[in-house]
Amino acid sequence: MDTKSTPPPRPHQIPNPSRPDFLACWAAASPSKPMLAFHFLRALSRIHGVTTVRRRTRTIRRAAYSSMARAASPRRAWSRALLGQARARRSRTLTGRAVLLRRRRITAAAPPQPSSPASRSATIIAARGEISTAAARPLPPRQEGEPPRADALRRLVPGGAGMEYCSLLEETADYLRSLRAQVQLMQGLIDLFSCQ
């Protein structure tokens, strides 16, 4: 872990492209920040052909959370939960479309039954329901100290539904640190790109 103790650059300075001061001094704060930058920048560089602004915003936001989860240790339950959610979202899109196409072919070949639209939507809802119930298990919280607030916290932290209270506090602390690092990274990138 190479960390240089250089003072942080002010956002008004135009950074010198030959010396990565920004990355070096920012990496001195925490050991995982270079990995965060690497994953996020790589994800950003892949976003080219997305034309709609809203879709690009959504893609960037998803890339932020995915890169945050990838840079974190896989021991952390919240990072596993985030990556699982991203995977489920991708497979849900593919599953929904595949089921729709299959149903359309079947109903086009066979005589149309009155229950086919209901069964088609039921299949899609079942596919989505599997994934959603797998993601949000309604486990009763272990009431060690704070039931009402802990529920709200469980909903906010990814993967917090199936955790004990003690693990929930640890995961929250780590999630907070990673979130803050991600926000700092994005803010730094915006400053970097906007002072040209």
Partner 1 sequence: MSSRRSSRGAISDEEINELISKLQSLLPNSRRRGSSQASTTKLLKETCNYIKSLHREVDDLSDRLSDLMSTMDHNSPGAEIVRSILRS
User: Is residue 67 classed exposed, middle or buried when 0-12, 13-18 and 19+ CB atoms within 10 A define those classes?
Assistant: buried
* Count of residues interacting with partner 1 (CB under 8 A): 52
CA atoms of 178 and 71, how far apart (whole Å): 9
Task: Report the phi/psi class of residue 58: left, alpha or beta, with left for phi > 0 and alpha for psi in -120 to 50.
Answer: alpha
Residue 79 engages partner 1 in binding (rule: CB under 8 A):
no
Selected range binding partner 1 among 3-11, 89-97, 132-140, 179-187, rule: CB under 8 A: 179-187
Listed in sequence order, the residues at least 6 apart from 84 whose beta carbon sits closer than 8 Å to its beta carbon are 135, 159
Residue 139 engages partner 1 in binding (rule: CB under 8 A):
no
Residue 101 engages partner 1 in binding (rule: CB under 8 A):
no
Judged by beta carbon, residue 14 or residue 108, the one nearer partner 1 is: 14
Residue 31 engages partner 1 in binding (rule: CB under 8 A):
no
Q: Are 84 and 135 in contact (CB under 8 A)?
A: yes
* Count of CA atoms in the C-beta half-sphere (13 A) of 188: 23
Selected range binding partner 1 among 36-44, 77-85, 108-116, 130-138, rule: CB under 8 A: 36-44
**Where along the sequence are the contacts to partner 1 (CB under 8 A)?**
14-15, 17, 20, 22-23, 37-38, 41-42, 44-45, 47, 53, 56-57, 60-61, 64-65, 144-146, 148-150, 152-153, 156-157, 164-166, 169-170, 172-173, 175-177, 179-180, 182-183, 186-187, 189-190, 192-194, 196
